[in-house]
C-alpha cells in the first residue's frame, strides 16, 4: 500500500472530477441542421430524390475526389468498395487488425479472405513492411485504416502493391476517422483508389447512419452506384417508362434524402469541426507531453490529422493496475474513456476463422490503449477535467 498522499479516487468513494459523464464522442447538431432535415421531410422526396446527388457533389468538392457515392452506412460503403475492387472467392485482402470489425467483415462479405498485417508502434497505422510480408499470389487489395484520423502511408503502400506477385492491387482507404486530414499535401479522398467514409454520429460529421465511397475512377464509381441500388444499371434510370435492367446482384444500400440533407448541412461546417478538433488535440498534447504514465501518439511529418479521437498508451510498467483498472477509475471520475479497438483477430469469430494469429505490436499496444474524449462540442474546461482525472488516477496507481 502506498502511503503517499493523493486525492481519494471516486472508485474508492472519493469526490469525482466530474458530476456527469463526459462522453468520448458526441454529434454536433445546429438549428440549421434541424431546419435542413425538416425541409427534407416536407419535400417530395424522402429517398432517391435530389438531396443525395447534391450531398455527393458537395462531398466530392470538399475532398477533391472526382466522384462521391453515398451509402446507407460506412459498412455498406466498405462492402461496395470490396466488390468494386473485384474481390471474390479465392482472393485475399490485407488489412490492419486495429480497426472496427466492419473493415475486415466487408472483405468476407465479398467472399474473399482477410490477411492481417501488424501496425507501427508509434502511430498504430498499418506497417507497409508487414504488408509486403503478407503479400501472396492471391492478394488483390490493401485496405488501410486512417486510425484516429491520421492518414496511413499510402505512398509506401502503393510501392508495396507494386511488388505483389499476383499482379496489380487496389488500394482502399477506410477513412471513417480522417475526413479532412492531409498528408504530404494530399487530401483524404485522393490518396487511394477508393476511400470510404462513415457518417455515424460518433464520426467527424453525421447523417444518422450513412457512408460514402470517394474515387477518381469512373468505372469504379459506376460499379458502386449499381451495387448500392440492387445491381440495376444506372444508365436506364432516366428512361421515362417502367423498364429497368438488373445486370448483377446488388443490395439496397441507399442513403435517404433525410440523411443527405443532414449531411449537406453538416458538411458546410466541416472546417469548423476540424479546427475545433485540432485545437483540442493541441491542448491535450500541451497538457500531456512528457507525462510519466502515458505515451502520446506520434504524428508523421507533413501530416495534419483529422483527430476523430485521441488515443494514449499507458505506461503499464509504472502502474500497479492494468488498463481495465485505469479505465474503471476514469469512468468513475466522470470521464467517458473508451478503447479503440479490440484487435479484430482477437474476436471469437476471427480466432476460429484464422487460428493462431498473433501480431506482437498491436497485441502489446492493445493492452495499453485508452481513447480520450474528443468531439467538436467539447470545451477547454472539459480537456482540463480529462487531464485532471488522468493525473489523479495515474498518481493513485503509480509505482512511485
Ligand atoms: C465507424 C467505422 C466503420 C463503420 O461505419 P458505420 O457507418 O458504423 O457502418 C468502419 N470502419 C471504421 C474504422 C469505423 O470507425
Q: Report whether 143 contacts 107 (CB < 8 A).
A: yes
Instruction: Give the residue whose CA is nearest to atom 5 of ligand 1.
Output: 74
Residue span of the structural domain in which 335 resides: 10-28+270-397
Strand segments (E) across 109-152: 113-116, 139-145
Taking the CA of residue 200 as reference, the ligand 1 atom at the shortest distance is: 7
Instruction: Give the residue whose CA is nearest to atom 2 of ligand 1.
Output: 176
pLDDT in the model for residue 236: 56
pLDDT in the model for residue 242: 80
Same domain, 212 and 303: no
Same domain, 232 and 380: no
Respond yes or no: is residue 203 known to be catalytic: yes
- Helix 31-42 to helix 257-267 angle (10° resolution) is 150
Same domain, 220 and 363: no
Same domain, 263 and 339: no
Q: What is the DSSP letter of 200?
A: -
Mean pLDDT of 247-272: 98
CATH of the domain at 323: 3.90.1150.10
User: Which of 203, 225, 254, 277 is labelled catalytic?
Assistant: 203
Share of the chain above pLDDT 70, in %: 98
Mean pLDDT of 98-120: 98
Instruction: Give the residue whose CA is nearest to atom 7 of ligand 1.
Output: 74
How many Å lie between the centroid of ligand 1 and the Cα of residue 141? 19
- Whether residue 167 is predicted with pLDDT greater than 90 in this model: the reply is no
Taking the CA of residue 198 as reference, the ligand 1 atom at the shortest distance is: 7
- Whether residue 234 is predicted with pLDDT greater than 90 in this model: the reply is no
Domain endpoint, select from 207, 240, 267:
267
In a domain, 3, yes or no: no
Q: Report whether 258 contacts 245 (CB < 8 A).
A: no
Cα gap 331→329, rounded to integer Å: 5
Q: Which three cell numbers stand for residue 208?
A: 444518422
Taking the CA of residue 203 as reference, the ligand 1 atom at the shortest distance is: 1
Same domain, 23 and 35: no
Pocket test for ligand 1, best of 105, 176, 255, 308 (most atoms within 8 A of CB): 176
Same domain, 124 and 199: yes
Which comes out higher in pLDDT, residue 118 or 357? 118
How many Å lie between the centroid of ligand 1 and the Cα of residue 240? 37
Domain endpoint, select from 219, 242, 267:
267
In a domain, 1, yes or no: no
Same domain, 314 and 174: no
Mean pLDDT of 233-252: 81
**Residue 307 zone, left/alpha/beta (φ > 0; ψ -120 to 50; rest):** left
How many Å lie between the centroid of ligand 1 and the Cα of residue 99? 9
57-96: per-residue pLDDT in tens?
A: 999 999 999 999 999 999 999 999 999 999 999 999 999 9
Domain count, the chain: 2
pLDDT in the model for residue 98: 98
CATH of the domain at 246: 3.40.640.10
In a domain, 4, yes or no: no
pTM for this model (two decimals): 0.96
Same domain, 243 and 365: no
Same domain, 157 and 40: yes
- Whether residue 43 is predicted with pLDDT greater than 80 in this model: the reply is yes
How many Å lie between the centroid of ligand 1 and the Cα of residue 1? 43
304-322: per-residue pLDDT in tens?
A: 999 999 999 999 999 999 9
Domain endpoint, select from 267, 301, 336:
267
Mean pLDDT of 363-387: 97
In a domain, 309, yes or no: yes
Which whole-number Å values give the CA distances from 251 to 89, 212, 277, in the listed order?
19, 15, 35
Nearest residue to 207 via CA among 26, 27, 25, 23: 27
Same domain, 256 and 280: no
3 band by pLDDT with thresholds 50, 70 and 90: very low
In a domain, 363, yes or no: yes
pLDDT in the model for residue 171: 98
Mean pLDDT of 188-209: 98
Same domain, 179 and 322: no
Same domain, 185 and 289: no
In a domain, 2, yes or no: no
Residue 302: partners with Cβ closer than 8 Å, 6 or more residues away: 183, 184, 185
How many Å lie between the centroid of ligand 1 and the Cα of residue 238? 32
In a domain, 151, yes or no: yes
235 band by pLDDT with thresholds 50, 70 and 90: low
Ligand 1 — pocket residues by CB below 6 A?
Answer: 73-75, 99-100, 102-103, 145, 174, 176-177, 198, 200, 211
pLDDT in the model for residue 174: 98
How many Å lie between the centroid of ligand 1 and the Cα of residue 207? 13
Cα gap 7→397, rounded to integer Å: 12
Taking the CA of residue 76 as reference, the ligand 1 atom at the shortest distance is: 9
Pocket test for ligand 1, best of 200, 259, 339 (most atoms within 8 A of CB): 200
Instruction: Give the residue whose CA is nearest to atom 3 of ligand 1.
Output: 74
Q: What is the mean pLDDT of the chain?
A: 96
- Whether residue 1 is predicted with pLDDT greater than 50 in this model: the reply is no
In a domain, 154, yes or no: yes
How many Å lie between the centroid of ligand 1 and the Cα of residue 196? 9
Pocket test for ligand 1, best of 188, 198, 308 (most atoms within 8 A of CB): 198
Amino acid at each position: 500500500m502506498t502511503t503517499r498522499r493523493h486525492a481519494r479516487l471516486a472508485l474508492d468513494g472519493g469526490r469525482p472530477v466530474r458530476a456527469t459523464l463526459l462522453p468520448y464522442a458526441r454529434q454536433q447538431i445546429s438549428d440549421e441542421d434541424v431546419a435542413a432535415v425538416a425541409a427534407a421531410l416536407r419535400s417530395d422526396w424522402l429517398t432517391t430524390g435530389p438531396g443525395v446527388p447534391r450531398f455527393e457533389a458537395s462531398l466530392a468538392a470538399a475532398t477533391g475526389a472526382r466522384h462521391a457515392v453515398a451509402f446507407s452506412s460506412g459498412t455498406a460503403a466498405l462492402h461496395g468498395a470490396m466488390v468494386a475492387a473485384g474481390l471474390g472467392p479465392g482472393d485475399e485482402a490485407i488489412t490492419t487488425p486495429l480497426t472496427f470489425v466492419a473493415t475486415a467483415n466487408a472483405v468476407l462479405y465479398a467472399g474473399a479472405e482477410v490477411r492481417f498485417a501488424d501496425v507501427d508502434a508509434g502511430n498504430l497505422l498499418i506497417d507497409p513492411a508487414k504488408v509486403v510480408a503478407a503479400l501472396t499470389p492471391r492478394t488483390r487489395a490493401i485496405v488501410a485504416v486512417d486510425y484516429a484520423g491520421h492518414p496511413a502511408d499510402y505512398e509506401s503502400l502503393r510501392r508495396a502493391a507494386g511488388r505483389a506477385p499476383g499482379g496489380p492491387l487496389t488500394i482502399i482507404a477506410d477513412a471513417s476517422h480522417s475526413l479532412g486530414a492531409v498528408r504530404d499535401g494530399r487530401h483524404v479522398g485522393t490518396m487511394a483508389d477508393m476511400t470510404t467514409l462513415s457518417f455515424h454520429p460518433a464520426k467527424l460529421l453525421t447523417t444518422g447512419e450513412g457512408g460514402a465511397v470517394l474515387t477518381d475512377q469512373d468505372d469504379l464509381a459506376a460499379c458502386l452506384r449499381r451495387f448500392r441500388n440492387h445491381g440495376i444499371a444506372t444508365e436506364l434510370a432516366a428512361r421515362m417508362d417502367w423498364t429497368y435492367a438488373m445486370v448483377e446482384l446488388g443490395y439496397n444500400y441507399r442513403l435517404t434524402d433525410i440523411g443527405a440533407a443532414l449531411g449537406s448541412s453538416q458538411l458546410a461546417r466541416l472546417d469548423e469541426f476540424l479546427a475545433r478538433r485540432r485545437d483540442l488535440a493541441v491542448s491535450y498534447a500541451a497538457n500531456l507531453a512528457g507525462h510519466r504514465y502515458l505515451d502520446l501518439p506520434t504524428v508523421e511529418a507533413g501530416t495534419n490529422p483529422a483527430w476523430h479521437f485521441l488515443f494514449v498508451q499507458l505506461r503499464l510498467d509504472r502502474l500497479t493496475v492494468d488498463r481495465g483498472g485505469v479505465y474503471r477509475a476514469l469512468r468513475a471520475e466522470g470521464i467517458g474513456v473508451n478503447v479503440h479497438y479490440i484487435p479484430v483477430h482477437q474476436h471469437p469469430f476471427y480466432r476460429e476463422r484464422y487460428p493462431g494469429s498473433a501480431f506482437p505490436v498491436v497485441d502489446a499496444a492493445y493492452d495499453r490503449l485508452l481513447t480520450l474524449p474528443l468531439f467538436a462540442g467539447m470545451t477547454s474546461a472539459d480537456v482540463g477535467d480529462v487531464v485532471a482525472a488522468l493525473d489523479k488516477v495515474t498518481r493513485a496507481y503509480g509505482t512511485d
